[in-house]
Amino acid sequence: MSKIIYFEKCGDHTEEVLEFCKKFAEENGVKDIVVASTTGKTGLRASEIFKGYNLVIVTHCAGFREAGRLELKEEYRQVIEGNGGKVLVATHALSGVERAFRKKFDTIGPVEIIANALKCFGEGTKVCIEIALMAADAGLVPVDRDIICVAGTGSGADTALLIRPANSMNFFDLKVKRVLCKPANF
């Protein structure tokens, strides 16, 4: 059984998370890595460490923070893609249109209830599950083998899960197989 890394606090543990995941991937034959990265900084580092893997960097959709604006830095995207990584810009699987209902009508729907329940395990856990769905929906990862998903709380990476992904319309087929690392206090 593999060890689990528990960080005392959430936050930027990117280097340790990525190196640990690389070792786990090598030892367990995992070929697909999905990493959340808002600006592309974490994604760029992942693209250096996971050369030769099917690496998918998932970033915020345009307009997430400011109407029409993409937060991913173009210079990071170029390096990620130059290193063989793929960049996915898509609507968040666990909010999307439901966020508009929350903002306009001050109500919450079932998808955002799921998202908020997942946050009980940490923000990074919710994001790992979300990016697994998004990458599967884009056809960038297979749904018949395990993948490693990496995310964080705020800035950088602090969480990694081994996941058997599913398409969003089959959400309940998604399985978290192992926790590789996460914050103990969040």
Q: Which of 80, 85, 84, 92 is nearest to 137 (CA)?
A: 92
Position 3 in a domain: no
CATH of the domain at 134: 3.40.1380.20
Ranges of beta strands (E only) in the chain are: 5-7, 32-36, 54-59, 86-89, 147-151, 159-164, 175-183
Position 108 in a domain: yes
pTM of the full structure: 0.94
Q: What is the pLDDT of residues 109-158, one digit of tens each?
A: 999 999 999 999 999 999 999 999 999 999 999 999 999 999 999 889 99
Position 138 in a domain: yes
Position 10 in a domain: no
Q: Strand 147-151: give its sheet, edge to edge.
A: 5-7, 175-183, 159-164, 147-151, 32-36, 54-59, 86-89
Position 9 in a domain: no
Q: How many domains does the chain have?
A: 1
Position 5 in a domain: no
Residue 55 domain boundaries: 15-182
Position 149 in a domain: yes
